[in-house]
Chain A
């Protein structure tokens, strides 16, 4: 299995620009999670989906952030407009209902730098 795939791996953009991060979960997994990692705040859950439906988006910091999951194999996290404080590593993870512990498998992350 290829694991969770994220793209791009690195993104450098200027303040005010739109940023789109992409995630392909492991085939057969029905839950998808977006996390953000910063030095100050550690790892935070932004939003997660079950069966392509957003369940909890209370971690999304502002209206500038939005996430979609149009089908079971693809999700996007969009920031518009981006700000320097959005600089972080964004991780996507997926898990499969019925596997007991619902272990989450993480992707390699996208390192976002907003200048």
Chain B
């Protein structure tokens, strides 16, 4: 069975600070990796995704993530955070089945607070 571990449950940063959120997964096969963001009171939005190719992927709003297969990691980064990045961040993984994609397995989430 797949599992996803997010290292930090709560992170508080000041504006302009750099961000790195850790994510490790366990699964023996080929996986797709995602980071989703959930702003207060809103639904999940995709930040970025990885399924093959360049292990460094860039997403929306200046976020990027690096897939390190040997470490089973997919850490999220942003060089300079803004107050508007305050949100809950979820790492997720799924794999393929014959008829389509499997459901996502999510990490517990990281609550990010950016202080002005």
Contacts and interface: CB of A to CB of B under 8 A. Distances in A.
Contact of A97 (B36, B44, B46, B99): B99
Contacts of A100: 51
B99 A91 contact: no
Interface stretch (B15-23, B60-68, B72-80, B101-109): B101-109
B49 A103 contact: yes
Interface of B: 32, 34, 36, 42-46, 49, 51, 90, 92, 94, 96-97, 99-109
Interface of A, helix, strand, loop or mixed by DSSP: strand
Given A31-B101, A95-B100, A102 B106 contact: no
B103 A42 contact: no
Contacts of B42: 108
Interface residues of A, number: 29
B46 A50 contact: no
A18 interface: no
Nearest to B97: A55
Nearest to B44: A106
Q: 9 nearest interchain CB pairs?
A: A102-B101, A45-B103, A50-B99, A43-B106, A106-B44, A101-B51, A97-B100, A50-B100, A48-B103
Interface of A: 30-31, 33, 35, 42-45, 48, 50-51, 53, 55-56, 59, 91, 93, 95, 97, 100-109
A42 B109 contact: yes
B51 A48 contact: no
Nearest to B99: A50
A106 B103 contact: no
Contacts of A102: 32, 94, 96, 100-101
Contact of A55 (B99, B104, B106, B107): B99
Given A43-B90, A101-B49, A102-B100, 11 more contacts: A31-B101, A43-B106, A50-B97, A50-B99, A56-B102, A93-B104, A97-B99, A103-B46, A104-B46, A108-B42, A108-B43
